[in-house]
Amino acid sequence: MFTAKLDVSDRVAIRAHFLALSARDRYLRFGYIVKDAAIERYVDSIDFDRDAVFGVNTDSRNFEGIAHLALDGKHAELGVSVLPLYRGRGIGSALVSRAAVHARNRDIEVLFMQCMSENRAIIRIANSLGMQVVTLGPDSEATLSLPEAGSLSCQRKKSMGQTAKNYEAGQLHA
């Protein structure tokens, strides 16, 4: 599995990925049921110079998984989605791992993921990567304080073993 860093030329395919998500998945990804027009505005607004977007594309023309890492000073917020047909193969875990390494390499200190408390899959990913998950009713926030580069290397190896079973060694470099 290869996690590619996407650029502005991928905007059309990124849009197709989000539009393919069901209302339920859009709710889990964005926290509310996002209509098509809002998806299009969101994708059009992605700033590829400031943020980082990663995609996985193994056997289809569209991206099966997308992670958007929004950078803001020393903080970053991550959103991730995988098309239903491709879930349970480690794509979500690989994208979160890749985004965490990218954030660390850009001196980001804290990585956030907003998620619904009912979203067992993303909370499992967060836990397996050592994120602290705080639940406040229906909403949860997963936080990862990014360690020094040496520590992250250790964590990266651990997460590779635990969650991203098909990871290839070289792909973690941002």
Ligand X SMILES: CC(C)(COP(=O)(O)OP(=O)(O)OC[C@H]1O[C@@H](n2cnc3c(N)ncnc32)[C@H](O)[C@@H]1OP(=O)(O)O)[C@@H](O)C(=O)NCCC(=O)NCCS
Distance (Å, whole) CA 151 – CA 62: 35
Dihedral (C-alpha) 16, 22, 25, 29: value to the nearest 10 degrees? Answer: 40
125 belongs to the binding site for ligand X (CB under 6 A): yes
Amino acid occupying residue 115: C
Residue 42: exposure state from Cβ atoms within 10 A (0-12, 13-18, ≥19):
middle
CB of 161 to ligand X, least distance (A): 11
CB of 150 to ligand X, least distance (A): 25
Residue corresponding to tokens 């903080």: 75
171 belongs to the binding site for ligand X (CB under 6 A): no
**Stretch of 33-41, 86-94, 99-107, 149-157 lying at the interface with ligand X (CB under 6 A):** 86-94
Backbone phi and psi for residue 86, each to the nearest 5 degrees, phi listed first: -110, 10
Distance (Å, whole) CA 172 – CA 86: 21
Among 68, 163, 167, 172, binds ligand X (CB under 6 A): 163
Question: 77: which 2 tokens?
Answer: 């917020």
- CB of 148 or CB of 168, closer to ligand X: 168
Among 120, 139, 145, 151, binds ligand X (CB under 6 A): 120
The residue of the chain with the least Cβ separation from ligand X equals: 92
Strand 110-116 to 139-145 pairing = antiparallel
Distance (Å, whole) CA 127 – CA 147: 16
| Residue count, binding to ligand X (CB under 6 A) | 24
Among 3, 93, 97, 155, binds ligand X (CB under 6 A): 93
172 belongs to the binding site for ligand X (CB under 6 A): no
According to CB under 6 A, which residues from 62 to 81 bind ligand X?
A: 79-81
115 belongs to the binding site for ligand X (CB under 6 A): yes
Binding site for ligand X (CB under 6 A): 25, 28-29, 79-82, 87-93, 113, 115, 119-122, 124-125, 128, 163
